[in-house]
Amino acid sequence: MTKGDTALIQIVTDLEVNQDSDSQLQRLDSPLVVQYIRLTVTSASQSGYQLQAKIENVEVNGDETDLTEDQLSTITKEIGALKGLTTTTDFDELGRPTKFDFKSPPAMSENAKSLIGGMRAQMEMIAPSLPAEPVGVGARWEHPVSSVDSSTGVEVSGTRTTTITAIEGTKISYEMDLELKATSSSGGTSSEMRVESGETTGSVTGWFDLSSPSYQLESNTMSSLTYEIDGRRVVQDSRTTTRAKPLSE
């Protein structure tokens, strides 16, 4: 990649949540959230590159949900606060993120700020971290994953297993399997929620380009989370589908 390389990416997220709290079952089928993200290489060298991501627009599509107009309006307002969010991520020569910074718009609410962790996850999925040795079609490797949620104190660890399925010039196609587990939280900045356990499994197919920030993927994940909040024990299962693709300009 070279400084100034840019791509406009459309990311569509579909989330479905089933929750059991005190024997009361709840189901949330959230509206589709569509983000338009501008990726720009701000610096590049043999040791890595820096990538800026700016949310240029956010749309909410509630056509296939059971949400009322008032509920949809509230979600649209909260999600709309993400417009203008800018993040900067440093990657090393193997595509591993080493530093993540963000600048939020002045009007961003606290609820919207909680979604910034999702932006970091999207940046990490732009391209799989490559192994140190050269790889070709059929190569398969594991990459460890670990993080801590500062608001809950939850530690997440696991692996991403990547397989190269095709190489066409600088474009590399791949498949990825994801297995993550969350350990009990000791409490972060938010003392109301205590996580007992959690697990996420998923799969990703897509491609990335070694010569530009352009990429495409489809990700499907299933998560299970057990936590306590306000004296109640909650078991939550969720399914998330994410599709990203470059747009022509």
CA distances from 40 to 43, 65, 136, 167 (A): 9, 34, 27, 24
Mean pLDDT for all residues in the chain = 83
Count of domains in the chain? 1
Q: Is 193 within a domain?
A: yes
pTM above 0.85, yes or no: no
245/7 Cα distance (integer angstroms): 10
Reported as a pLDDT band with limits 50, 70 and 90, residue 136 is very high
Structure tokens at 50: 């820096």
Q: Cα–Cα distance between 68 and 62 in angstroms, integer?
A: 9
Backbone φ and ψ of 140, nearest 5°: -140, 135
CATH number at residue 26: 2.30.230
241 inside domain: yes
Neighbouring-strand partners of residue 200: 180, 223
Instruction: Yes or no: say if 186 and 153 are a contact pair by the CB < 8 Å rule.
Output: yes
Domain presence at residue 165: yes
Examine residue 1 and state whether it is found in any structural domain, yes or no.
no
pLDDT digits (tens, 9 = 90+) for 167-225: 999 999 999 999 988 876 555 544 567 778 889 999 999 999 989 999 999 999 999 98
Domain limits for position 41: 6-246
In a domain, 112, yes or no: yes
